[in-house]
């Protein structure tokens, strides 16, 4: 039984409802409706108190301890600690208890401090003053005392204290402006609308006299969805019902702007507000490194158990001799003789587990968490990833996935706003087959040097002229654009209006571009006032249209419509949307000519929209109005009913024309994709755009190249052949070259083999994902994945948001289990961002939903290159070394203890002193590896950016594979054997002090421990490539701290110790010349094999990284980030940077795309319709290329 069901049952019981429904009824102002109305069953609602804290004063200790001991490592060490307390173990409970106490305490202090800050923030929020109406007067009280049904007054620049239904404002049209930056990051002003029947209530007395009830859905977290209705009672008449939607709901956390004051009624309070419901965290993602750590931990746990079993068995084998079992100096008591053998064996087993338990590094988890948390700041501090235009830098929402950035194999990217600027410019429109460009007569011919001409195509006559005017009016009316108002706008004359430049605001850049483009063609949208839309025609006359209905845009319909009434009384429906959603619904118009122009513009990379209209009679409009009203008033399945109503209304349309808008390619988007492909990462573009538009963009950003053979898996193909045949043919085509196209060739940059690119649309994907009649879809999916694996790039067009997530999930769960990354900038990308292993949001122009739901956020797509190739590379290398080093140093630490048991009769005698056991992982060896994992750079930043192929060296979790893990483990075993037996043979029958005194067992253990600490620390020093004063301070400081601690620990009689077995041991050891010689010799022998292995492998079998390290010393001056090292000094090399702004497409007379092949690489020379050029050129040159080579026109 889940929590939602429990909550439902509790609410049902508390409210006494027999038939529970998912809605609530609210009395506005707590005024009961007139008698005779439907009986109201009261429900219990929470107060307006916000609680974001996890703990209280009373439950902090038990709850925090419970949460911490849910971690396997903490629970394991707790068990060991309890075993040490219960039975007689060879080591003190302090050795396990102190490190565990340290870890638990540090974590508890950190979490307690964070929760204290949350408590402070909650109190500040709950105690802020709020104005509400009581008995016709304004009363002030604390926010936490608000109740559902209270009428609240909010002033300008104040934050809404709870979720309110907007009743009225001081503005005559019943609107208000709101910013929702704290909710979704969007800083633009949004318009909200008051209830039609209450917007005239401007004072407290009128509002207090309001008699109404609100029926709405129960709280749910979606910020953009709301369904409800308000029933307004006038005397004893039937109530007037009005629909309520998200445009009437003012959300807690949003801020009132440019409006003096508003009145609203509270419907959701406290933890039921949408803001509070969005507090819940996203599902936890785990990195590949963390999974490897857990597997290695299990392996070491098995080693620990096997050690304990071996020692326990050998102990009883060794004690099978009575003399050994019960020597004369240590005879057993009677109770010990009668003790059960199995119980004794189990106790001994536990004692050995305690003795060897340090092989499991408890401090590793704390160090890894600190490394991730502190390491994430290096990303946010990177000045190269700071965007001057937006004033923003990268954002880390979770540091748990830092190392995953170095393991990405697939990048799924959105197109609009991610690869492109989402900065739209109106290019042209086509009406009845005639093409119009602002200020230019086009109609098939572009006139030279006529940019100053202010006229449009005048060829249409009669009905054509009427359609032309309808088209312009449609674009002026069918949108959600707001006009930024001036204070004196009402006093402007027509002449002034005609010359003024309107400032348009909209959540969609396309709409602003269209309205601004039509303004340049003579039709200016002025404003929406009192539900009338005003436009200024070329004759400087203001035309007014009453806005009757608006059929909002959604990603499924891919269109929007408005129903307006002209002054003459004519009722029109104007509809605009994607060609795929408009063409099937039109019955008249010059469909073929317009379709041809749309396809041509799409090939050139322009975003196209089609415009159509329909004229209603009064009777038809009444039926449409009734249909919409019934759907809007529905509390259940409102969206489904509205979609069905829209489907019935938007049919039998007359096609007017189409528009073309240019979206420029983002700066360095092509360089970024080229770098990712060189790094062995496959890039997929997932977009909702047309196939032709998306394909043109893919060529522009070098996803597809000159030698790329495009394979289509589209609806058109499937209509000609069956899906099975299309998949079979594509599979046969790509598998011809599958032998040479391995994973390492996925970059698609080679010219000596066939390069494939796949294009698939949403409808084809639905067929692939759809279960077959036999109930399985596995065969189609596997065939599809097989084709994708052998393609260097994939373009998925006409994708719905859910389909984007399906694609990511399909690849993520394939048999190779690759690491996936999704990047996007809009709300439609959130599903794939949440689905991928790593989600990256771009803080773009489509709001902040993507950035809010992502793991990381970056300002521009170009920053992905450094995030993966540099930061991701460093993160992975550093944490991999950290994990392997921790296991290595703990093997070095504990294996001598295991060997020592063979020389002490398996008596569980510890080799090291309690202080050394306790502080080894906490103090002596912890800081050097932490600093290493934060600052190590085995290759320079510039080299990683210049040579993206180095990313392949760490792909597929290369540094945490079993081969590497076994090498580190055996290296630890070898070093441990050297420590132990080196010290053993040094002590064997040898006088090591000047007075002939023999060393004891604690001196032996101290000698082994000294060699151990110096060896593991110097091993880390040998692995360090990037030295700073901090590294020197920490590494040599740690060794110095060990020496000073040992001198103090053994040189002073500490009063708090019952016995002091280490007294004068360390000083005595250092007074011996052979001990000094032995320490130096054993450290050298221990480090020698690793040094020899590295030297030999570097000379005989160097990796790409090692070759680059050698080259970086020989070649200090590099011209460009992507210059091949062999051609650095070639004079024919040219920079990829563009020194001038690209020319506009409207100045272009040619539509061709140029490609050049030079020095084994492809370069595309593109028209500036993409707003991007790869070459250094002057402003007068239209096309240019660098160096000589083959140039092809496509």
Catalytic residues: 414
Rounded CA separation 756/746 (Å)? 10
Give the separation between CA 350 and CA 96, rounded to whole angstroms: 14
Q: Is 85 exposed, middle or buried (0-12, 13-18, 19+ CB in 10 A)?
A: exposed
Select from 686, 683, 690 the least CA-distant residue to 669. Answer: 683
Tokens 């394979």 belong to 711
Instruction: For residue 577, list its beta bridge partners.
Output: 559, 610
Q: Which two tokens stand for residue 1186?
A: 């660098």
> Residue 1043: CB partners within 8 Å, gap ≥ 6?
none
Q: Is the separation of the CB atoms in 1034 and 934 below 8 Å?
A: no
Tokens, residue 1073:
């010349």
Residues 6+ apart with CB under 8 A from 1186: 1132, 1134, 1156, 1158, 1163, 1175, 1176
Alpha carbons 492 and 488: distance in angstroms, whole number = 7
Which ranges of 634-735 would DSSP assign to H, the alpha helix?
Answer: 638-649, 669-678, 691-700, 715-720, 723-735
Distance CA 202, CA 208 (A): 11
Give CA–CA dist 440/234, Å, rounded.
58
Nearest to 734 by CA among 754, 748, 716, 706: 754
Residue of 1033, 935, 881 whose CA lies nearest to 378: 935
313: left (phi > 0), else alpha (psi -120 to 50), else beta?
Answer: alpha
Residue 1146's nearest CA partner among 525, 706, 520 is 520
Question: Torsion-angle region of residue 30: left (phi > 0), alpha (psi -120 to 50) or beta?
Answer: left
Q: Which bin fits 558, alpha (ψ -120 to 50), beta or left (φ > 0)?
A: left
The whole-angstrom separation of Cα 553 and Cα 576 is 9
- Cα–Cα distance between 444 and 898 in angstroms, integer? 89
Contact (Cβ atoms closer than 8 angstroms) between residue 854 and residue 839: yes
List phi, psi (to 5°) of 173. -85, 5
Reading phi first (left if > 0) and then psi (alpha if -120 to 50, else beta), residue 827 is in alpha
* Cβ-defined contacts of 327-336 (< 8 Å, 24+): none
Which structure tokens are listed for 20? 């529970």
- Please give the Cα distance from 154 to 960 (Å, whole number): 58
Contacts 24+ apart (CB under 8 A), 118-123: 118/52, 118/53, 118/54, 119/53, 121/52, 122/49, 122/50, 122/51, 122/52, 122/53
């Amino acid at each position: 039984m889940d929590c939602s069901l429990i909550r439902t049952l509790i609410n049902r019981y508390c409210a006494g409802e027999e038939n529970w429904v998912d809605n609530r009824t609210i009395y506005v102002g707590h005024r009961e409706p007139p008698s005779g109305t439907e009986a109201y069953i009261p429900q219990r609602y929470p107060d307006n108190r916000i609680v974001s804290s996890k703990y209280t004063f009373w439950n902090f200790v038990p709850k925090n301890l419970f949460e911490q001991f849910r971690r396997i490592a903490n629970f394991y060490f707790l068990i060991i600690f309890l075993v040490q307390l219960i039975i007689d173990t060879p080591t003190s409970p302090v050795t396990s208890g102190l490190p565990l106490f340290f870890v638990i305490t540090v974590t508890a202090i950190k979490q307690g401090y964070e929760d204290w800050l949350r408590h402070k923030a909650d109190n500040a929020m709950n105690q802020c003053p709020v104005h509400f109406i009581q008995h016709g007067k304004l009363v002030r009280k604390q926010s936490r005392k608000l109740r559902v049904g209270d009428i609240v007054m909010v002033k300008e620049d104040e934050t809404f204290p709870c979720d309110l239904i907007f009743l009225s404002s001081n503005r005559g049209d019943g609107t208000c402006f709101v910013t929702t930056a704290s909710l979704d990051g969007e800083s633009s002003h949004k318009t909200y609308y008051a209830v039609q029947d209450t917007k005239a209530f401007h004072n407290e007395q009128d509002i207090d006299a309001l008699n109404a009830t609100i029926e709405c859905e129960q709280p749910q977290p979606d910020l953009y969805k709301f369904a409800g209705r308000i029933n307004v009672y006038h005397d004893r008449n039937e109530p007037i019902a009005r629909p309520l939607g998200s445009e009437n709901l003012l959300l807690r956390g949003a801020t009132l702007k440019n409006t003096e004051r508003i009145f609203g009624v509270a419907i959701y309070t406290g933890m039921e507000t949408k803001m509070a419901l969005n507090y819940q965290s996203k599902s936890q993602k785990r990195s590949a490194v963390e999974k490897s750590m857990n597997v290695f931990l299990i392996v070491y746990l098995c080693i620990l158990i096997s050690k304990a079993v071996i020692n326990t068995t050998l102990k009883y084998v060794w004690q099978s001799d009575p003399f050994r079992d019960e020597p004369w100096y240590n005879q057993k008591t009677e109770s010990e003789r009668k003790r059960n053998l199995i119980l004794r064996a189990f106790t001994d087993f536990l004692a050995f587990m305690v003795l060897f338990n340090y092989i499991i590094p408890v401090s590793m988890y704390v160090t890894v968490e600190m490394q991730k948390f502190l390491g994430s700041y290096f990303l946010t501090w990177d000045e190269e990833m700071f965007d001057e235009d937006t004033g923003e830098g990268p954002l880390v929402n979770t540091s748990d996935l830092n190392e995953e950035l170095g393991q990405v194999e697939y990048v799924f990217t959105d197109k609009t706003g991610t690869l492109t600027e989402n900065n739209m410019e109106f290019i042209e429109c086509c009406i009845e087959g005639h093409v119009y460009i602002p200020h230019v007569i086009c109609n098939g011919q572009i006139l030279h040097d006529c940019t100053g001409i202010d006229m449009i195509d005048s060829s249409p006559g009669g009905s054509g002229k009427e359609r032309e005017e309808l088209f312009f009016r449609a674009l002026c009316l069918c949108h959600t654009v707001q006009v930024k108002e001036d204070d004196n706008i009402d006093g402007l004359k027509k002449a002034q209006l005609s010359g003024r430049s309107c400032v348009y605001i909209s959540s969609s850049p396309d709409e602003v571009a269209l309205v601004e483009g039509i303004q340049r063609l003579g039709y200016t949208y002025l404003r929406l006032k009192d539900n009338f839309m005003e436009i200024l025609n070329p004759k400087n006359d203001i035309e007014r249209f009453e806005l009757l209905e608006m059929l909002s845009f959604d990603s499924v319909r891919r269109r929007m419509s408005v129903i307006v009434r002209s002054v003459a009384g004519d009722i029109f429906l104007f509809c605009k949307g994607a060609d795929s959603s408009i063409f099937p619904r039109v019955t008249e118009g010059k469909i073929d000519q317009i379709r041809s122009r749309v396809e041509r513009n799409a090939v050139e990379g322009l975003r196209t929209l089609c415009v159509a209209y329909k004229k209603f009679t009064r009777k038809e409009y009444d039926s449409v109005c009734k249909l919409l009203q019934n759907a809007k008033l529905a509390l259940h399945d409102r969206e489904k009913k509205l979609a069905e109503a829209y489907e019935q209304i938007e049919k039998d349309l007359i096609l007017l024309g189409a528009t073309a808008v240019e979206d420029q390619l983002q700066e360095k988007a092509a360089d970024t994709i080229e770098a990712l492909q060189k790094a062995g990462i496959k890039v997929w573009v997932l977009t909702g755009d047309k196939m032709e538009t998306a394909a043109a963009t893919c060529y522009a950003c070098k996803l597809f190249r000159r030698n790329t053979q495009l394979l289509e898996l589209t609806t058109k193909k499937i209509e000609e052949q069956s899906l099975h045949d299309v998949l079979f043919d594509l599979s046969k085509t790509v598998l011809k070259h599958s032998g040479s196209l391995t994973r390492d060739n996925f970059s698609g940059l080679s010219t000596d083999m066939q390069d494939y690119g796949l294009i698939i649309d949403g409808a084809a994907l639905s067929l692939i994902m759809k279960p077959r009649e036999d109930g399985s879809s596995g065969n189609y999916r596997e065939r599809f994945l097989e084709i994708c694996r052998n393609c260097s790039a994939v373009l998925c067009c006409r994708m719905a948001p859910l389909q984007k997530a399906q694609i990511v999930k399909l690849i993520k769960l394939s048999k190779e289990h690759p690491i996936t990354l999704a990047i996007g900038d809009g709300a439609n990308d959130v599903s794939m961002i949440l689905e991928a292993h790593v989600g990256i949001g771009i803080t773009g122009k489509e709001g902040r939903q993507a950035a809010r739901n992502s793991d990381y956020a970056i300002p521009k797509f170009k920053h992905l290159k450094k995030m993966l190739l540099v930061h991701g590379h460093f993160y992975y290398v550093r944490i991999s070394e950290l994990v392997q080093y921790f296991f290595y140093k703990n093997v070095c630490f504990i294996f001598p203890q295991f060997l020592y048991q063979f020389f002490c009769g398996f008596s569980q005698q510890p080799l090291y002193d309690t202080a050394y056991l306790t502080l080894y992982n906490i103090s002596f060896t912890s800081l050097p590896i932490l600093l290493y994992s934060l600052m190590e750079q085995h290759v320079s930043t510039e080299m990683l950016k210049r040579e993206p192929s180095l990313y392949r060296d760490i792909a597929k979790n290369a540094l945490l594979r079993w081969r590497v893990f076994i090498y580190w483990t055996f290296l630890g075993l070898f070093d441990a054997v050297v420590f132990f037996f080196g010290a053993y043979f040094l002590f064997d029958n040898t006088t090591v002090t000047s007075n002939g005194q023999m060393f004891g067992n604690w001196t032996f253990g101290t000698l082994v421990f000294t060699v151990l600490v110096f060896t593991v620390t110097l091993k880390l020093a040998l692995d360090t490539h990037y030295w700073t004063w901090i590294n020197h301070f920490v590494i040599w400081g740690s060794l110095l701290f060990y020496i000073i601690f040992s001198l103090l620990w053994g040189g002073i009689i500490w009063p708090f110790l019952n016995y002091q077995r280490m007294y004068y041991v360390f000083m005595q050891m250092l007074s011996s010349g052979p001990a000094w010689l032995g320490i130096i010799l054993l450290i050298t022998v221990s480090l020698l094999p690793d040094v020899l292995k590295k030297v030999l492998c570097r000379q005989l079998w160097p990796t790409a990284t090692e070759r680059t390290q050698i080259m970086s010393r020989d070649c200090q001056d590099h011209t460009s980030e992507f210059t091949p090292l062999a051609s650095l000094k070639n004079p024919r090399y040219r920079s990829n940077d563009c020194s001038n702004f690209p020319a506009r497409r409207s100045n272009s007379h040619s539509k061709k795309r140029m490609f050049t092949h030079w020095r084994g690489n492809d370069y595309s020379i593109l028209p500036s319709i993409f707003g991007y050029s790869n070459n250094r050129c002057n402003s007068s040159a239209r096309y240019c290329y660098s160096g000589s080579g083959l140039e092809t026109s496509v």
